[in-house]
Amino acid sequence: MYAQLIKADTSQREEDAARTQAFQRRIDAGEKIEPKDWMPEGYRRTLIRQIGQHAHSEIVGQLPEGNWISRAPTLERKTILLAKVQDEAGHGLYLYCAAETLGVSRDEMTEMLLDERMKYSSIFNYPTLTWADMGAVGWLVDGAAIMNQVPLQRTSYGPYARAMIRICKEESFHQRQGFDIMNQLAKGTPAQKTMAQNALDRFWYPALMMFGPPDSDSVHSEQNMAWKIKMNGNDELRQKFVDLTVPQAEYLGLTIPDETLQWNEEKGGYDFAGPDWGEFFDVIKGNGPCNKERLEARRKAWEDGAWVRDGLLAHAKKKARRAAQEAA
């Protein structure tokens, strides 16, 4: 009996090893993995964590910008900002749906966010203090996000890749509207220019943090790259972001708050100072300037909304019951 069990266990393991190899071959061949396909448990778990965190980031990311919808300076700016923050809700929704195909429900993921078992991007724990922050968030934060997201359109998991394609298409205006706000402020009154510079000063390093810690300190990277869940190294994307952004700041006449920033002819890119990683890990741990407020806001929305969600469901059930009775 015991021997039999061992034998069964061994053959199961051999079978899994064969499947894992076949799985990797599919990914290497550029095939998409779909919800019902066999996948290694690690792949599934990593994806749930990554897509879930991405979804949470969109939802929590509504808050710092939503903070200015009521105070946008013109009707046009108000409309654009509202449409943009609404898009973020949509992106969160697409991503939750992609994660749901992996066997986790949206409610479960929400609960994991609210009791801090799951994370969201640290950038959204920084406060938006002025209207220029709407510019800086669009220009720098969306700019950095897009850099991460564009390659993910080619990620190996079908539902995730499809969600990213839709998101990237819709995001195309987000960074532009941010830059447009900055541009208007940078060429505006002296006070407006000060406002713009102040926003850049506060958001520059947090934006650099968005690419994650240096590759040398980053765990899980290799396996995730083999699985095509992670497409590029953190440092590579950060460098690309800096190289693209510096000339834009120059165009705006704003100063990037980095005295060491310098063009390096040899590497064909800028040398720049990295962010304070101690601060990064503090924020991740929950000690960012707005962590408490962000989670509080999400918890309040979730708890205050429970009666609405329950009420609509209760009515739907009653209605279905009545329809069934009439048909009978």
Among 93, 129, 161, 165, binds other proteins (CB under 8 A): 93
Distances (CA, A) of 280 to 7, 212, 255, 304: 49, 9, 23, 31
* Alpha helices (H) in the chain, listed in sequence order: 2-28, 41-66, 75-100, 106-114, 132-136, 143-152, 158-186, 190-209, 221-226, 234-252, 277-282, 291-304, 306-327
Among 47, 51, 92, 290, binds other proteins (CB under 8 A): 92
> To the nearest whole angstrom, how small is the minimum distance from the Cβ of residue 73 to other proteins?
4
For residue 94, state whether it binds other proteins (rule: CB under 8 A): yes
Among 13, 45, 292, 321, binds other proteins (CB under 8 A): 45
Residue whose C-alpha is closest to residue 286's, from 136, 113, 129, 142: 113
For residue 26, state whether it binds other proteins (rule: CB under 8 A): no
Nearer Cβ to other proteins, position 44 or 119? 44
> To the nearest whole angstrom, how small is the minimum distance from the Cβ of residue 120 to other proteins?
13
User: CA-CA distance, 50 to 46, in Å (whole number)?
Assistant: 6
Among 6, 17, 18, 83, binds other proteins (CB under 8 A): 83
> To the nearest whole angstrom, how small is the minimum distance from the Cβ of residue 247 to other proteins?
24
What residues numbered 263-282 form the site for other proteins, per CB under 8 A? none
Nearer Cβ to other proteins, position 222 or 310? 310
Among 85, 152, 254, 290, binds other proteins (CB under 8 A): 85
User: CA-CA distance, 103 to 101, in Å (whole number)?
Assistant: 6
User: CA-CA distance, 163 to 260, in Å (whole number)?
Assistant: 39
For residue 17, state whether it binds other proteins (rule: CB under 8 A): no
For residue 11, state whether it binds other proteins (rule: CB under 8 A): no
> To the nearest whole angstrom, how small is the minimum distance from the Cβ of residue 29 to other proteins?
15
User: CA-CA distance, 117 to 138, in Å (whole number)?
Assistant: 28
Among 2, 29, 76, 278, binds other proteins (CB under 8 A): 76
> To the nearest whole angstrom, how small is the minimum distance from the Cβ of residue 316 to other proteins?
4
Q: Which residue has the tokens 């980031």?
A: 57
Judge contact between 205 and 168, C-beta under 8 A: no
CB count, 10 Å around CB of 117? 11
For residue 300, state whether it binds other proteins (rule: CB under 8 A): yes
CB count, 10 Å around CB of 229? 21
Options 227-235, 242-250, 281-289, 295-303: segment touching other proteins (CB under 8 A)? 295-303
Nearer Cβ to other proteins, position 162 or 240? 162
CB count, 10 Å around CB of 90? 13
Options 181-189, 260-268, 274-282, 283-291: segment touching other proteins (CB under 8 A)? 181-189
Residue whose C-alpha is closest to residue 256's, from 199, 209, 214: 199
Among 231, 273, 297, 299, binds other proteins (CB under 8 A): 297
Among 27, 47, 51, 59, binds other proteins (CB under 8 A): 59
